[in-house]
Amino acid sequence: MGRIVESAHAKINLVLDVGPVRSDGYHWIHTVMQSLELRDIVIMEERPAGISIECLPGDPTRQGAMFCLELEPCSMPPSNAENLAWKAADLLRQAVGIQRGVSITIRKAIPLAAGLAGGSADAAAVLRGLNRLWNLGLDLAELAAVGVKVGADVPFCLLEGTAEVTGIGEKIRPVDSPPPWPVLLLKLPVSVSTKSCYEAYDKLASPPRVNAPAMLEALANCDLAAAARRLGNSLEAVTFQQVPELAFWRQAMEQAGCLGVLMSGSGPTLFGLVRDEEHGHAAFQRLAHRIKQEPPAMLPNLYLTRFLSSNRQDQFEGGTRHA
């Protein structure tokens, strides 16, 4: 029986500009997504029929984190048909018209419900892995056409690296990745409803907008200081209203030395850019000390990882490659 191992990398949104709601209920967005070295490990093994899935705790320091502090146990996603990885396998079987089986084991290092696309990354890894395991011969655009049915972030997670994403998330244009800049991640043990964040955003009298092209310029110039200045997220203010503790920890990350701090996606994970590994380690140690001094209530987990570099030139629109 065959066996394939794939990596499923976390992502952050360096900018997220949210426009008005459309007639179909979706929002226009303009975002720049960046993959990270922090990753889940997804193992796929052939079985005669059916799909089985098991999610187990991984080891972040062996899965892309240079350092980590986990005071709160990480939750595991469901090991059943509700898991996005299971859905990806099932949709792929339907798309190609086969009934082959697979056992999926996921070693989780990406925090759950964090705005880091952990579930989408796992689904993308399953699509890539089963394409090899079952010798399907599908290209990236064909896999993305299946992935978009699982979730809006899956096509980007198939591509990985750095990309400009527009529309409602279906138009993906890869750009050259900057160097593997170190980045701190701080995840509070809370979950945030993306739906409620967008609903609150729609009620704002003057919804904040973000300059995504300015971030793309900073990345093209590999200018870390400019990138740190141009971080922005239209949803940050409404999520901070729902989780006031985020403002405290954002300030703590800035005081620890981060060049710029932002919430990823609809949250609640905060990330901070740092100059280099030495600077990142020093900031990590300051934050770890700060965390340990706080009362033992809703303490965050902390990770130091890096940008994942990629120079793919594939592009997608609605799951279809375009020039």
Residues with catalytic annotation? 11, 153
**C-beta of residue 9 within 8 angstroms of C-beta of residue 154:** no
Q: In degrees to the nearest 10, what's the CA dihedral of 66, 109, 194, 225? A: 10
C-alpha pair distances (Å), 12 with each of 4, 102, 264 = 26, 30, 5
Read off the tokens for 175. Answer: 């750009």
Gap between the Cα atoms of 8 and 199, Å rounded: 30
Read off the tokens for 61. Answer: 């320091």
- Sheet (strand 301-306) strand order: 67-69, 301-306, 182-187, 270-273, 260-263
Rounded to the nearest angstrom, the gap between the alpha carbon of residue 157 and the centroid of all alpha carbons in its chain is 8
Gap between the Cα atoms of 5 and 187, Å rounded: 27
Give, for 9, the enclosing helix (H) or strand (E): strand 3-21
